[in-house]
Amino acid sequence: MNFLMLLATLLGILVVIRLMNVVQLASVLSGEDEEEEQKRHNTMNGIGMILFMVLGLGLMVYMTFKYMPFMLPEAASAHGVETDFLLNINFLVIGIVFFITQIALFWFVYKYQHDKKRFALFYPENHKLELIWTVVPTIVLSALIVTGLREWNKMTQGHPKDGMVVQVYGYQFNWIARYAGADNQLGRSFYKLITDDNPLGIDFSDPAAKDDIITKANEMHLPKGVPVQFQFNSRDVIHSAYFPHFRTQMNCVPGMNTAFYMEPTITTAEMRGITKKEKFDYVLLCNKICGVAHYNMKMKVVVDEPADFKAWLQGEKPAVPASGPSKVANTASANAETNSL
C-alpha cells in the first residue's frame, strides 16, 4: 500500500516533468519568439481574469442565497436584533466596496494588456484623487465606528442594574448554571471548597447562598422578556460561553468574574414555529479551546414564558443541601471572599 502510494506519487511527478519538457519543446519547434509567446499568455490569462471575476462573483452571490436558510435564525435577544441590523448595514457597505474594487482590479488587468507599440500612462500621483480616497473611507468608517460604539455602549453599560442574576459556570467539559433566587444575590464561592457534592465550591455559610438554585441536568432555562445579568466563571481553563442565537459571548476565566447583560425575546416554542423545525433548541457552546472534548462541551438552553420558567426552577436543585451548613469546613470559608460577588 505504502509502496504503491510512493510509486504513484513518483509517476505523477515524472509526468509533470515530461509535460514541462514537451511544452518547452513545442514552443521552440513552433518558432514562436518570446514576445509572441508572452502575448499569447497575456491574452489567455486576460480572458482567465474576466472569467474568474464573472464566475467568481456570480458564485458568491449564488452561494449567499443558497446558504441563507442555514444561517442563524433571527436574533432571540433584544440587543441581538439591533446588532443583526448593524451587521447587515456593514455587509451592505463592504459589499459595495468589494464589488467595485474587485471588478475594477480584474477588469483593468484584462483591459490594459501589453502592447509593445504603446507606453503605459506615466501617472505617478494625483494629490486630489489621493485626498478623495483617503477622506471618503474616513467618513464611511467614522459612521461605522459611531454606530458600532453606540450599540456597544448600550449593550454593555446602558442597561438596568437589576436584571435576574444567573451564573454560568464552565469546567472540563460541561456547564452548570446557578440562579440567584429570591434575594437576587449569588452566595460566595471559593475553588478550594469544591467537592463532588458542591461542584461550584459554594460557601454554605453565606446567607445569600441559601436560596441559590443549581441546574440538575445539562439544561438551563431563561424567562422570556426578563433581563438577565449573567456572571461567568470557570474552574479550570478558559472557556467561552457562546449563545449564538442570542448573539452573545463571554469568556469564563478562572479567578475572574466576567459579566454580560441580555434579554431573551423569543421562547423556544416560538422559535420552533419561526424556524419550522420541531426539534429546534437554543444552545450554549464552548467557544474557547479548552481540551480534548472541547467540541462536545455544550448545554441545552430553553426560553420559557415567565410562569413556566418559575415552575421549572422549582424542580431544580437547591445550592445548599438541607443538611448543608453543618458540613462546611470553616477554615476554608475564611478565604471565601476572593470569589464573591
Partner 1 sequence: MEVKDTTHSGHDVDHGHDDHHHEHHQTFLTKYVFSTDHKMISKQFLVTAIVMAFLAMGMSMIFRLQLAWPDQTFPFLENIIGKWGKDGKLDPGFYLALVTIHGTIMVFMVLTGGLSGTFSNLLIPLQVGARDMASGFLNMLSFWFFAASSLVMFGSLFIEAGPASGGWTVYPPLSALPQAIPGSGLGMTLWLVSMVLFIVSALLGGINYIATVINLRTKGMAMTRLPLTIWAFLITAILGVLSFPVLVAAALLLVFDRSMGTSFYLSDIFIGGVPLDHTGGSPVLYQHLFWFLGHPEVYIVLLPALGLASEVISTMSRKPIFGYKAMIASMLVIAFLSFIVWGHHMFVTGMNPFLGSVFVFTTLLVAIPSAVKVFNYIATVWRANIVMTPAMLFAIGLVSFFISGGLTGIILGDSALDINLHDTYFVVAHFHIVMGSSAIFGMFAGVYHWFPRMYGRMMNKTLGYVHFWLTIICVYAVFFPMHFIGLAGVPRRYYANTAYEGFDQLININELISVFALLAGVAQVIFAINFFYSMFKGKIAPQNPWKSNTLEWTAPVEHLHGNWPGEIPTVHRWPYDYSKPGAKEDYIPQTVPHSATPESNRPGDF
**Phi and psi torsions of 241, nearest 5°:** -85, 105
Q: Residues 6 or more apart from 179 whose CB is under 8 A from it?
A: 164, 165, 166, 167, 212, 213, 214, 313, 316
Interface mask toward partner 1 for 203-242; x: CB under 8 A: -----------------------------x--xxxx-x-x
Tell whether residue 157 is a contact of partner 1 (CB under 8 A). yes
Compare residues 181 and 245 and give the one whose CB is closer to partner 1: 245
- Between residues 173 and 211, which has the closer beta carbon with respect to partner 1? 173
Nearer to partner 1, 119 or 314 (CB): 119
Nearest approach in angstroms of CB 186 to partner 1 is 16
Q: Is 130 in the site for partner 1 (CB under 8 A)?
A: yes
30 vs 36: CA distance, rounded Å: 11
**8 Å CB contact between 327 and 311:** no
By beta-carbon proximity to partner 1, the closer residue of 183 and 227 is: 227
Task: State the first-to-last Cα distance of the chain, in angstroms, to the nearest integer.
Answer: 62
Residue 233: beta bridge partners?
169
Size of the site for partner 1 (CB under 8 A): 120
Per-residue x/- track, 269-308, partner 1 (CB under 8 A): ----------xx--x-xxxxxxxxxxxx-x----------
Q: Does 244 bind partner 1 (CB under 8 A)?
A: yes
**Smallest gap, in angstroms, from Cβ of residue 63 to partner 1?**
7
Q: Is 118 in the site for partner 1 (CB under 8 A)?
A: yes
The Cα angle at residue 293 between residues 338 and 193, in degrees rounded to 5? 25
Q: Which three cell numbers stand for residue 208?
A: 445569600
Distance set, CA 243 to CA 24, 224, 227, 299 (Å): 58, 15, 15, 10
Minimal distance in Å, beta carbon 103 to partner 1? 10
Site for partner 1 in 22-51 (CB under 8 A): 23-24, 38, 41-42, 44-46, 48-49
